[in-house]
Copies of this chain bind each other. A is one copy, B any other.
Amino acid sequence: MVGEFHPPARILMGPGPSNVDPRVYLAMAKPLLGHLDPDFIRIMHQVQDLLRYAFATRNSLTIPISGTGTAGMEAAFVNVVEPGDKVLICVNGFFGERMVEIAGRCGAEVKKLSGTWGKPFDPAEVEKELRAFRPKVLALVHAETSTGVLQPLEEFPSIMKKFPEALLLVDTVTSLGGHPVKVDEWGIDVCYSGTQKCLSCPPGLAPITFSPKAVERIKNRTKKVQSFYLDMDTLGKYWGNEMTYHHTAPISMNYALLEALRIVQEEGLDRRFERHRRNHLALAAGVEAMGLKMFVDPPHRLWSLNTIAIPDGTDDAKVRKSLLEEYNLEIGGGLGPLKGKIWRVGLMGYTSDERNVLFFLTVLELTLREQGFEVPRGVGASTAREFYAKNK
């Protein structure tokens, strides 16, 4: 017999999921409705309105995909890519690699522009490749969860204008709700995210939005989308005014997302971004004051995910295990080539909080000292505290 389960109350400072507001837990406990209930349809429309706010878009086709962030990535590619289409993918981390994998399974002719893990792409370099390859889709990761790098997108609208045949497809899994994501202003055609990062909702849904140009591309497809589950034509009808049955939306997860988005709306995006920025800067200041090195150069650091170079002579797994077991605090290790090289420390959504920054710096110091690595006593937390005092 499988008995009761009582998950420990962790501080989730890994690369996601992040902690959720108690209001979001309560939202999931609200009475279940049928997926065609008028009261649930009202909730669907509210979720869509608030997602448009979060994405800074007026795109009509804006919905939460009934799957996790990876389903969002797959939905992005399968809908706008047809077999034989040229797709240019900028890869400077694990999730760029995943895009290559998924686009390949759509039968695309994929060109991979390889960058450096830990650095963003120079838009001029991308433009050169666009000119040479003339793809139908250019794909980029805005916030690389594997490295902690932010890809600036401000210059892309003027670049993309020169390549009207290309759609701009952007992964904002780790930025939406934590960093500015300006879908319309930046001319993004397909943009997806996950719920469990800066939106601070449990994992299970993938917000996605398609520009009118992307919708046109979908309408003009010659071949059916290979995935029925992720087919935006029918999904759009289910979430749109037709309300044609497609699948049973995850009702309770949509309650959770609605409540998480209501919290975003109440805080306001600008204040929310500033909170993420401030807590990130405090954490980075503390980390560096302890004598550790951040993995990414300051202008390109994500506010939502801090990557710390693991100091020589420390045991990656042992440190993370100790943080988890002694302090109920989760951080992430590196992926792929960065395994054992970096720690990934999330400050996303509800987790992005001064209390967590100070606690993390304190227990990281204690853990490193206990494992024989010399760290100046109390300097991390007090440096962060000074930063907060100076930056009210």
Contacts and interface: CB of A to CB of B under 8 A. Distances in A.
Interface stretch (A35-43, A118-126, A155-163, A368-376): A35-43
A300 interface: no
Interface residues of A, number: 79
Chain copies in the assembly? 2
A32 B201 CA distance: 10
A30 interface: yes
Interface SS majority for chain A: loop
Contacts of A154: none
A29 B26 contact: yes
Nearest to A266: B1
Interface in A59-112: 66-71, 74, 98, 101-102, 104-106
A335 B245 contact: yes
Interface in A321-363: 324, 330, 335
Nearest to A53: B2
A28 B30 contact: no
B35 A248 contact: no
Contact of A5 (B12, B19, B204, B258): B258
Given A2-B258, A7-B30, 12 more contacts: A4-B262, A8-B31, A10-B32, A70-B228, A70-B246, A70-B247, A71-B247, A102-B228, A202-B251, A202-B252, A227-B227, A250-B250
30 contacts: A1-B265, A3-B262, A5-B255, A7-B255, A8-B39, A10-B34, A12-B34, A16-B248, A17-B32, A17-B248, A17-B251, A26-B29, A29-B29, A67-B71, A68-B250, A69-B247, A69-B248, A70-B228, A70-B229, A98-B228, A105-B224, A105-B225, A202-B251, A202-B253, A203-B251, A204-B250, A204-B251, A204-B253, A252-B256, A253-B253
